[in-house]
Amino acid sequence: MYVSAVSDILDDLGYNDQVMSAGIKAVNPETTLIGLALPVETTWYSKYKKFENFSYEPLYRIFDDIFPSCVIMIATEGRTSAATWGELVSNAAKAKGAAGFLTDGCVRDLQGILDISPPFPVFAEKYTPARSEGRLEYARTNIPLVCGGVKVNPRDIIFGDKDGVVVIPSGVAADVVKRAQETVRRESAFRADIRNGADLRATIQKYGVA
């Protein structure tokens, strides 16, 4: 499947606000992100805060909650003054079985993320070298949050590819997947007919897609 087909099905079912902001893209455009949401809240300082004894305990709590095939989703309300994630924690999350990472804020260590093999999908709004320490803290996990303009509940399905990111509510996931598979089947048949010279109007009428 692909994100555009899923977005169309969600529209048809009345879920019209499930596409995250258009700026959220994959660090590695060849990766696809799909998994169950593990939402993480952030709190931000009004200015840089110097710590004498910085604690990684909030980060450890995220890792305590990681489960196989989860997508760690850090919500920032669009704040981009610091990176919420980087290459080292990407490697650690991958080792714990996470399916990927997403934020509506920033990440850093792009080359290191690109060098992870097999790839670990990381989707973000922007990039910055500024570290999180002294600028933000990870707060609560596994609570409903708004990320990229979409309300995301724990274990909703996050699906991202080159077109962007869509959130599938867990309660309709099975129906959405079934309908999206049928859409992909019809679009594939449409594509084959058009490439063989079929008339556009007749082909749209035949398959109901365009």
Domain ranges of the chain: 1-14+171-210, 19-168
Mean pLDDT of the 22-48 span: 97
pLDDT of residue 17: 97
Q: What is the DSSP letter of 208?
A: S
**Domain 19-168 superfamily per CATH:** Ribonuclease E inhibitor RraA/RraA-like (3.50.30.40)
| Average pLDDT of the chain to the nearest whole number | 95
DSSP track, 93-160: HHHTT--EEEESSEE--HHHHHT-SS---EEESEE----STTTEEEEEESS-EEETTEEE-TTPEEEE
What is the pTM (predicted TM-score) of this model? 0.91
Does residue 157 surpass a pLDDT of 80? yes
Instruction: Name the pLDDT band for 169 (thresholds 50, 70, 90).
Output: very high
Does residue 210 surpass a pLDDT of 80? no
